[in-house]
A and B are shown apart, each in its own frame.
Chain A
Amino acid sequence: MVDIAQVIEDTAVQLLKIAATKLPSEVKATLLKGEEETEGSLGKSQMHAINENVKLAEIHSKPMCQDTGLVSFFVKIGDKFPLRSEVKTALIKATKKATPDIPLRPNAVDMFKGNTKNNVGLRGYVPWFYIDLVEGDNLEIIAMPKGGGSSNVGKMKMVPPGKGIKGVKEFVVEATAAAGPLACPPYTVGVGVGGGEDMCMNLAKKALLRPLYQYHEDEKIAELEKELVKTLNKLEIGAMGLGEGPSVLDVHMEFAARHPASLPVGVVISCWALRHAGATVDKEGNVEWHPH
């Protein structure tokens, strides 16, 4: 009999390792293209260092960045999947195990008791879970560690609804300009529109999981995404903020319905190291790794 909780734990440790050590293939390709197209020695040398570092991480199976992030899991639990709350328990165990094994930097700090040294918070909130209930008998897990530098430039604004889409665009431009050189550009920008003040941030983060260049299925939103990529690159932030090379690799947006009186916009920015990895576990405990 397969111990499914153990399968989930082992799978999650592996996902945290893949996310920390290996960029999704389209992100790697985009960074290489970025280096090739960068004019100016300052920007080119920054892009070159990024790409060399990405290569080293993959060859030696080591974390590409010392900031291995605050851990979150996006989880979809199928109706017929045998486990429920044990999924959370297994993912927390996986986070603890992955910390010395990979190793990950201990990044969970309690405000009163200090660093917990295992990436798990003392008050039940870290790692953070985004849980969705879906049809079927599978469990989908996506691990997403996010660095502090790029989290620090995340922003939310309640835009006056009268400003409409133009107000959304303005805020995305302002938020990305404010990030400037701070958060290891070139960036990928996630935008969440609608819902409430919390939901727009969740949606913005979720938008970062969509592969680069895979635009929204709603053509109007896809057009907006492509327009914003062009617009944001006109800011000339450049690699590491030195004004040369790409500023933004891609922009992804998710929309929810909004309250008539509200137009919440969330902007979540990823550094060049857009890290996530996923797998699906079926009810027998077979694991299918998502393309990476």
Chain B
Amino acid sequence: MEHYLTTPISPEDLVTIKIGDIVYITGTIITARDEAHLEALNLHKEGKKPPVDFQGNGLFHCGPVMKKNEQGEWTVVAAGPTTSARMEIFQDEFIKVFHPGIIIGKGGMGERTTKACQEEKCIYGYFTGGAALLAADRITKVIDVFWFEELGMPECLWVYEVENFGPLTITIDIHGGNLTEESKKNIAKNKDIILQEL
């Protein structure tokens, strides 16, 4: 089933979405990888706020290739998802503090994120890994950038306006489903069979 969501995404928007469904996002998505997650959570601990509001927006696990045009404005060259599993160690806390509506990445996330998604009403979707030009095509505007000097191009916060960003294959829904974990269980089962037969 296909769903078209516009940011800010509300918990009600997510009720009918199930793992295996396809979602397209229009509105605001913000890139954040390992360093930006850490920095945002550190600021929160100090009672401060990060420079951009994640609430109801898309959180994009992505370190893009960006280039300044002749007018000195940033443009997107390539912007596919990075491996989300690295963010598993703090994603649940991030969801609880900042309440993004959807997380976009690739490779799937684990139990802690699944639980936080269920409790806080957030979903997780795959953009095809490495399909950086298809993703860049759906980004209509670079709204802002933060922490560029401190964290560098791949790790800083890029704020994008997107139109029908997708297709995103939902692998974590708000009902506790996790499609990647199902696939991983199947891989583990097949591995055991193969090792016995070698």
Contacts and interface: CB of A to CB of B under 8 A. Distances in A.
Interface of A: 42, 45-46, 49-50, 52-53, 56-57, 60, 62-68, 100, 103-107, 109, 114-115, 117, 147-149, 152, 166, 169-170, 173-174, 177, 180-184, 231, 234-238, 240-243, 271-273
Nearest to A108: B152
B3 interface: no
A104 B78 CA distance: 10
A117 B85 CA distance: 25
Contact of A242 (B77, B167, B183, B198): B183
Given A106-B152, A149-B129, A240-B106, A63 B85 contact: no
Given A170-B195, A241-B107, A64 B130 contact: yes
B20 A42 contact: yes
Given A56-B134, A103-B65, A234 B107 contact: no
B62 interface: yes
A52 B167 CA distance: 13
Contact of A234 (B129, B151, B154, B190): B190
A233 B130 CA distance: 21
A57 B167 contact: no
Contacts of A46: 126, 128, 169
A60 B133 contact: yes
Contacts of A107: 154
A52 B153 contact: no
B20 A181 contact: no
A106 B152 CA distance: 8
Given A63-B78, A181-B108, A105 B187 contact: no
A106 B193 CA distance: 42
A177 to B, nearest CB: 4
16 contacts: A53-B130, A64-B78, A64-B130, A65-B131, A66-B77, A105-B63, A106-B154, A114-B152, A117-B152, A234-B190, A235-B187, A235-B194, A236-B186, A242-B169, A242-B180, A243-B186
Contacts of B58: none
Interface residues of B, number: 50
Interface string B164-198: 00010101000000011011101110110111001
A240 B132 contact: no
B83 interface: yes
A50 to B, nearest CB: 6
A229 to B, nearest CB: 13
Given A63-B65, A149-B129, A173 B83 contact: no
Interface string B95-128: 0000000000011100000000000000000101
A66 B132 contact: yes
Contact of A105 (B65, B83, B131): B65
B77 A103 contact: yes
A177 B188 contact: yes
Nearest to B134: A53
B56 interface: no
Given A46-B169, A103-B67, A181-B183, 16 more contacts: A42-B20, A49-B167, A57-B133, A100-B67, A105-B78, A114-B151, A115-B151, A115-B152, A115-B153, A117-B153, A148-B82, A170-B195, A182-B85, A182-B107, A235-B187, A271-B129
Given A65-B132, A106-B154, A238-B183, A184 B106 contact: yes
Nearest to A243: B183
Given A182-B85, A242-B169, A50 B131 contact: yes
A148 B82 CA distance: 9
Contacts of B85: 182
Contacts of B194: 173, 231, 234-235
B180 A181 contact: yes
B79 interface: yes
The 6 A-B residue pairs whose C-beta atoms are closest, nearest first, are A115-B152, A49-B128, A184-B129, A53-B131, A66-B78, A177-B191
B83 A149 contact: yes
Contacts of B195: 170, 173-174
Contacts of A170: 195, 198
A181 B86 CA distance: 13
A180 B80 contact: no
B195 to A, nearest CB: 6
A243 B67 CA distance: 36
Given A181-B108, A183-B107, A63 B180 contact: no
